């Protein structure tokens, strides 16, 4: 599993091409030959980019869902809505499809942020707003999510 690190401010050109910052491109190098999947995020107005191996692992788990359960079918349909495959070109640019740029409200200025094994792609203003909104609640969230672990942190 990849363990990506970093948050980067970038610009998209009029065609939706983004130059992936060199430190992130280096981290993604092992996954780049297989390509990536880009999709709408579930909880935020941003995009998620999965290395193909991470996507395939996730799809294997989703493939185990009972397709005769309406909720499962609805979830799969919504989760995979607008999914596209993308690659880094020879110069290290990523072409983000127009419909996904529109979903995330990305015009020109954007933020690419690591999220463990995937990359989130945000409109810069929306990213800063999401970080600001979460700042007040982050201590409580951290305690709730991570604080109930044993004394050894596990």
Give tens-digit pLDDT for 45-91. 999 999 999 999 999 999 999 999 999 999 999 999 999 999 999 99
Q: List the domain boundaries for the chain.
A: 7-124
pLDDT of residue 150: 59
Partner residues linked to 33 by β-bridges: none
Residues 37 and 85: beta-carbon distance below 8 Å:
yes
Assigned CATH topology for domain 7-124:
Chemotaxis protein chec (3.40.1550)
Q: What is the pTM of this model?
A: 0.88
Residues 122 and 110: beta-carbon distance below 8 Å:
yes
Cα dihedral value 122, 124, 128, 131, nearest 10? 20
SS3 19: strand
Q: Report H helices in the chain.
A: 22-28, 52-63, 70-79, 98-104, 124-135, 138-146
DSSP per position, 87-119: -B-TTSEEE--HHHHHHHT-SSEEEEEEETTEE
Q: What is the mean pLDDT of the chain?
A: 92
Give tens-digit pLDDT for 18-49. 999 999 999 999 999 999 999 999 999 999 99
Q: Give residue 154's pLDDT band: very low, low, confident or very high (50, 70, 90).
A: low
């Amino acid at each position: 599993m990849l363990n990506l690190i970093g948050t980067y401010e970038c610009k998209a050109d009029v065609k939706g091409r983004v130059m992936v910052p060199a430190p992130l491109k280096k981290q993604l190098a092992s996954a780049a030959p297989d390509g990536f999947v880009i999709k709408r995020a579930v909880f935020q107005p941003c995009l998620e980019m999965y290395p193909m191996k991470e996507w395939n692992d996730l799809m294997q788990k989703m493939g185990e869902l009972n397709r005769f359960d309406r909720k499962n079918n609805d979830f799969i349909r919504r989760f995979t809505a607008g999914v596209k495959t993308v690659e880094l070109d020879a110069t290290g640019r990523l072409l983000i499809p127009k419909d996904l740029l529109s979903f995330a409200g990305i015009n020109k200025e954007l933020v690419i942020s690591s999220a463990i094994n995937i990359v989130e792609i945000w409109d810069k203003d929306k990213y800063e707003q999401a970080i600001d909104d979460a700042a007040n609640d982050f201590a409580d969230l951290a305690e709730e999510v991570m604080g109930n672990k044993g004394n050894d942190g596990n």
